[in-house]
Each structure stands twice: as structure tokens, then as C-alpha cells.
Structure 1
Amino acid sequence: MIIDETLAHYSDLAFESAFAVLVLAFVLLIVEYASSKAWAVQDREAARELVSAGSSSVADAPSVPGRVAAGPRRRSPAERAGNMGRTVLVVGTVLAVASIVLRGLGTGRFPLGNMYEFVAMACAASLALGLVWLRKPAYRSLWVFVLVPILVLMFLAATVLYADAAPVVPALQSFWLPIHVTIICIGSGMFLLSGMASILYLIRMRHPRGEEGTGPLAHMALRLPDAQTLDRLAYKSTIIAFPLFGAGVILGAIWAEAAWGRFWGWDPKETVSFITWIVYAGYLHARATSGWRDTKAAWINIVGFVAMLFNLFIINMVVSGLHSYAGLN
């Protein structure tokens, strides 16, 4: 198989550009988020003015920080930075997807042959799904937190996990590669959104009225959506990712039978993937069980998220098994 070095180089440039653009988006969104305290103070003053002007109660006042019902106001520099950040975020997502497409064209195969390509695909999936799931105004502040693990993963992919464009090992030269691994990538990307939503849900439960609290977590919770909204986001993400991930595990077993002559051999990757799937099944069960559907269920979801990361890094990089295709030197 001939490798097109030019396209492979453009793929690397696109990935590096995507990382730089996403860092810029992150900074712009932080600027918007950091101004939330001033917006909250302004809204409370506007609420008092409405009440004094004849409103029946404070409930008539605006409840969304940064939006005042007393009349239009000029957008602050921070708000404009936030709008720019969301636009830049779209550009970064396009570049991340372009890097994957160029990698595939340059290698003449589906670009999921090593950990670098897997992490790049999972990050692109998280970004694309986030643009869909977090498009509502109530969810936009979550990007500040969702981008943190994505940027960390992209940095690790470009440094520790990077592998030159090359043909895949014979065991991966199968039509099952794009089917099995793509489904796992999409499911993992949705689990990332779900895990972050549960982490923020626990913070919001601890500080339900962040503007009245003290300490870094209280200020962090200032412009987060309410706890119920975060809980619903985590649940909706998991309830879609769960069958996808399960289908990926089943398809992997079918591929294993074709490649190794058995459906299941309790290989470390298979075992931890199954455990991760069971943990998420436990989360969905807890989410529907009285007495467990609040913070207990959220903690189970976070355990599933940690298990997924453990399966990605520790199992691939430390534990030796039949799935050791990290592509690391």
C-alpha cells in the first residue's frame, strides 16, 4: 500500500490547527463564563427594579443570567467573546473532521488503525455531537467544561500517542474495522458528554444557587444549567450511547470469531469493555430506581466514564493482549 505523504502531512496540519483553534475557542468561552458573576448581579438589580415598578413578584424577573427583561441592553465584550468562541468552535470541529478524512485518503484505508487515530476520531465525534446536543442556549456554558477533556485527549494524541501514517497490521485489514471501531468511537464520544454532565450535575447539586455560595465550586456553578437539566443531558446521552457501545462490543465479538476462531476469550480489552457496558447498564437502572436516580446514579455514570478512559489508555498502553494495536513505539 502506497502512503501519500502529502495528504498525511496535511492531515497532521489540520489536526494541529484544530487543536490551536479549539484552544482559542476555549479561551473565548472562558472569558464569557468568567463574566457571569457581573451578569448575575446586573440581573438581580434589574429584578428589583421590576418589582419596585409594579411586578407582582421576583418570579416575574428574568431567570437566565445575562438576559434582562427590562429592555434590550448592549452586549458586553464578554458576550461577544462567547459568540465568537462558539463560531470558532465550529471551525475547530471542521478541521478535526478534515484531519481524519485526509488521514484516510493519505493511507488508503479507514483511519482507525492505532490509538492516535482512535482518539482523533473520538474527539471529533464528541465535538460534532456536542454541536448538536449543546446547541440550546441553556447548554452553551457547558462547552467550557466539555472542551477540557477533549483538549487533553487531543494533546496526548498529538504527542504521546502519535503514529506516522502507515498501513495497518494484517489483523486489522478487515471490513469489520470501520464498522466495529466507528461505533465504539461514537459511543465513547457520547459517554464523554454524559460523564461531564454528571460531574457538573454533582457540582450543581452541591451549589444549587451558585451565585449565593462561596468558594471556587460555587463560582463554577454560577452559570451552569440547573441540576435537572444536567441530569437529563447525562441520561439522554447515555441512553443513546449505551446500545451503540453494546452493539460495538457484539460486533467486536463477531470479528474476533472471524479473526481468532472464537467469539470471546476474556482478553483484557474485551473484559474491561464488558465491565464498562455493565456499569452503564447499572447507571440506567439506577436512574430509573427510586432513591438512586439522583446523586447515586450520577456517581455510577462517572465510574463508567472512568472505566472507559481506563480501557482506552491503561489497557491499550500498559496491559498486553490481543488488542494491543496502539501503534506506539
Structure 2
Amino acid sequence: MAINTGLAQLSEFLWTGATGTYMLAAVAYTGEYAFGRTGRIAKTSVTAVTREPALVGAGVGAASGSASAVGATSARDIDASSPPVEPAPQRDAGRTWGRAAIAFTILGLSLHIACVLIRGIAVDRVPWGNMYEFTLVVGMIATIAWLATLVRMPQLRYLGLFIMFPVLVVMFLAGTLYTKASKLVPALQSYWLAIHVSSVAVAEGILVTSAAITIMYLIRSRYERGQAAIEAGQPGPRRFATLGEQFPASASLDKAAYRTVAFAFPIYTAGVIFGAIWAEAAWGRYWGWDPKETWAFIAWVVYAGYLHARATAGWKGSRAAWINLLGFGAMTFNFFVVNIVISGLHSYAGLN
């Protein structure tokens, strides 16, 4: 079947529409973050807690006691597992911005899904045969993961700006990696393409969301430690850490980041296994330490270490967060540097 150039152009038009709509969503999320009551609750929760008499003058270890009490109490105030904080009866402008942000996100996602599906119809195959198409799918899954997170934790909605920003980066990257609609090279003409690449794309899209939440956690955690230091008569948080003033409690963010990794990791594992099976069918061996195989394994080991540390050693907080980001860094290196710079058996980026 010949390439349908008309549908391919329509897919490109839908990419433009989806990217523009995501930008509107980011503006609306910014409005909720700036003007919404939820952000102000997060902003004042730590300060209110640290002023409790029980936390002042606790004797030896007052600073560390304050820090733990801050985390515990602020987590009770706005913990992800508790019901969303109901605003006061008066009008909250942030809620209007928030509803608009969700509407734009859903509209942008609808255009995004249509873009991917029509691209697949235009080329008469699964629409993730090169870096352009794969990047589109990763951005789509990241947006779906964010909306799924909001179903469970609607009180995190006002943080959507920090999720939409990496999604927009992914969308613009897709534009820079654009490849004309074309048939697959013979090595990729296999049903394993649909199985292997789709599972990896889903996992990586979810892990983008986890990385964004982890960065927010690190900023909020430093802010909370700074607030505890103020109560102990020590210097407060550094300027960069004050960005966490309006974030939810660090415990909530830590839990959300962990849950997304725990959900994505089995999918990523399946994707690596499917790739090994495909390699045996295509090249006569399951594993040959090709650069892409090697870095996929490195990322898998790091994420496995993260989950293992959380489950057995009880690692929470900054140490676990940095392991999570290390795994995301390895995965990102595998996607960009290995695909574009390093030559190997997996060099099918479609950029030439």
C-alpha cells in the first residue's frame, strides 16, 4: 500500500494543534498555581505547623524533630491519600483556571491521539517506526499518565504546569526529529515492532511523569528542611528551594513518584524481554550487548535498584529520589545519544 500523503499531512497538522493546545493548558495550570487557594494552602501548611508550641523547645534534637513533625503534619494536611481540600465557600479563581487546564489537556490529548492514529493509517503500520513517531507516543503516554494520576490524586491538579512542561519539550523534540511518512526498513517489518516498541514507549511515557514529580519532591523536601532550620534558629532554605513553598507535602510527592515507577517498571521489563525475543528471531541471538541493549539494561538495573531499596531497605526521601532520576537519565541517554550518535544494530532512527 502506498503512503497516503494527505493523511500524513493531516497528522502533522494535528501535531501542531495538539502542541498549541498543550501550551494553552500550561498557561491555565500556571493560572491555577498562581491564583488558586490550593497552592496557598500548601504554601502556609509548613509555616503553620512549625509554629505549634509542641515543636518549639523540644530539647535535644529539636531541629530534627521539627523536620519530622513538619513532614508528618503537612502530609496529614494535604497527603495524596486524603480527600482533596475543599475550598472556602467564596469564589476561588484558581478553580476556574484549573478546570480550563483540564479541558485543554483533554482536548490536546484527543488531538495528540488522533495525530498518532492517523500517522499509522497513512503509513499502513504501527506509528512508532522512527524517533519522530516514538517521541510522539512517549509524549502521549506521559499526558495520559498525568490525567490518570489526577483521577487518584485530584488535589495535585495545580501542579500540572510542572508536568506539561516536559510534555511540551517532548512535543517540540518530536518536531525537530520529524521524519517524512515512509515504509519501514526490512529489519523492522515484524509483528514484534508493535509488541516491543509499544511496551517501551508506554513505560517511558509514565517514567517521564515520575521524573517530574521526583524533581518537585526534591525541591519541596529541601524547602521543608529549611523551614525546620528557621525554627531552630539556623539559616532558612536557599532561594531555589523556596520554589517548593506551594508544593504539596514531600511525603505526598514521594508516594506519587514511587507509585508511577512501580506501575511502569513491569511494562519496561516486558519490553526488554520482548526485544530480546525479537533479537533472536532477527539476528540469531537473544542478547549481544549492542549499545542500545546495554543502556536499556543499565536503566533497568537502576530502576530495579530503586524499587528494591524502597521495598527492602525502606529507602525513602532524597536518596531514593536521586536513584529514580539516575534511571531516568540512563533511559534518556539511551533514547537520544545512543539513537543519534552511537552506531549499532538498532540505528533505525529515521533521521537520515
Which interval holds the TM-score relative to the shorter structure?
Answer: 0.7 to 0.9
Q: How many Å separate the matches in 2 of 1:210 and 1:138?
A: 24
Q: Is the 8 A contact 2:302 2:326 kept in 1?
A: yes
Whether contact under 8 Å (2:29, 2:161) holds in the other structure is yes
Cα root mean square deviation, aligned:
2.5
Q: Which residue in the other structure is 1:282 paired with?
A: 305
- 1:34 CA displacement: 2.1
Q: Is the 8 A contact 2:26 2:101 kept in 1?
A: yes
Aligned to 1:83: 99
Aligned residue identity for 2:301: I
| Cα pair 2:42 2:249 within 8 Å, conserved | no
Alignment partners' CA distance in 1, 2:42 and 2:172:
37
Instruction: Verify the 8 A CA contact 2:42 2:245 in the aligned structure 1.
Output: no
Q: Which residue of structure 2 aligns with residue 53 of structure 1?
A: none
1:5 and 2:5 correspond: yes
Q: How far did residue 164 of structure 1 move?
A: 0.5
| Alignment-derived partner of residue 154 in structure 2 | 137
Does the 8 Å CA contact 1:210/1:221 hold for their aligned counterparts? no
C-alpha separation between the residues in 2 aligned to 1:298 and 1:138?
22
Q: CA deviation at 1:97?
A: 0.8
Residues in 2 aligned to 1:98 and 1:216: alpha-carbon distance in whole angstroms: 42
Q: Please give the TM-score of this superposition, normalised by the length of structure 2.
A: 0.82
Q: Secondary structure at the match of 1:288?
A: helix
1:43-89 per-residue CA deviation (whole Å, 9 max, x = no partner) reads 89xx9xxxxxxxxxxx9xx956x9677x500122x432222111101
Separation (CA, whole Å) in 2 of partners of 1:199 and 1:226: 13
CA distance in 2, matches of 1:133, 1:217: 26
Q: CA deviation at 1:289?
A: 4.0
Aligned to 1:155: 172
How do 1:170-209 and structure 2 match up within 5 A? 170-208=186-224
C-alpha displacement of 1:41: 10
Q: Which residue number corresponds to residue 96 of structure 1?
A: 112
Identity %: 45
The alignment's TM-score, normalised by the length of structure 1, stands at 0.87
Q: Is the Cα contact below 8 Å between 1:43 and 1:67 reproduced in 2? A: no
Instruction: Check 1:218–1:247 CA distance in 2 against 1; reply closer, same or farther (3 A cut).
Output: same
Change (3 A) 1:41 1:116: closer
Residues 35 and 271 (structure 1 numbering): CA distance in 2 closer, same or farther, change over 3 Å? Answer: same
Instruction: Find the counterpart in structure 2 of residue 305 from structure 1.
Output: 328
* Kept after mapping to 2: 8 A contact 1:202/1:298: yes
Conservation of the 8 A alpha-carbon contact between 1:187 and 1:245: yes
**Structure 2, unaligned stretches of length 5 or more?**
49-72, 79-83, 231-235
Deviations, residues 294-314 of structure 1 (Å, cap 9, x unaligned): 211110000001111111100
Alignment of 1:219-298 (within 5 A): 219-290=242-313, 292-298=315-321
Which of 78, 89, 93 does residue 72 from structure 1 map onto? Answer: 89
Residue type of the alignment partner of 1:95: L
Cα distance between partner residues in 2 of 1:87 and 1:280: 33
1:202-244 C-alpha deviation (Å, 9 max, x unpaired): 1111112899966654442233221111111111111111111
Q: Which residue of 1 aligns with 2:30?
A: 30
The letter for the 2-side match of 1:104 is G
Structure 1 position 273, deviation (Å): 0.0
Distance change (3 Å), C-alpha of 1:140 and 1:42: closer
Kindly indicate whether the alpha-carbon contact (under 8 Å) linking 2:290 and 2:344 is maintained by their aligned counterparts in 1.
yes
Q: 3-state DSSP class of the match of 2:331? A: helix
Secondary structure in 2 aligned to 1:222? helix
SS of corresponding position for 1:134:
helix
Structure 1 Cα separation of the partners of residues 121 and 86 of structure 2: 50
User: 2: CA distance between counterparts of 1:144 and 1:210?
Assistant: 24
Count of matched residue positions in the alignment of Structure 1 and Structure 2: 310
Flag the 1:43–1:72 CA change in 2: closer, same or farther, 3 A.
farther
